[in-house]
Amino acid sequence: EDKVVQSPLSLVVHEGDTVTLNCSYEVTNFRSLLWYKQEKKAPTFLFMLTSSGIEKKSGRLSSILDKKELFSILNITATQTGDSAVYLCAVASNSGYALNFGKGTSLLVTP
């Protein structure tokens, strides 16, 4: 059975800190790994990763995938209170249809 595990489950940091969120997975016939940010209802798309070792970057957020060790990390540098959200990792395979989501990491950035 496909599995996506995120850690930590929750995290509290001070503004300006750097955080690293983890996502490990077991999936048959891997296709892609996606990161989302969920603040209220709708998750918003951050990154899609398909190749190992290639960093995706958007402002203070970056992510990288390791297909050998089956994990991805999401880094946020110089955190701001607006980064407070649940960060979701999802994995897609070529042999299944659904995006398989982890339970998320709840990040709280305090002033």
Binding region for other proteins (CB under 8 A): 31-32, 34, 36, 41-45, 48, 88, 90, 92-94, 96-104
Task: Evaluate whether 49 touches 74 at the Cβ level (below 8 Å).
Answer: no
Residue with tokens 């016939």: 29
CB of 95 to other proteins, least distance (A): 10
CB of 47 to other proteins, least distance (A): 8
CB of 84 to other proteins, least distance (A): 16
**Which lies closer to other proteins via its Cβ, residue 79 or residue 105?**
105
Task: Evaluate whether 47 touches 56 at the Cβ level (below 8 Å).
Answer: yes
Structure-token pair, residue 88: 């979701």
Rounded to whole angstroms, the Cα distance separating 20 from 73 reads 6
**Which lies closer to other proteins via its Cβ, residue 14 or residue 41?**
41
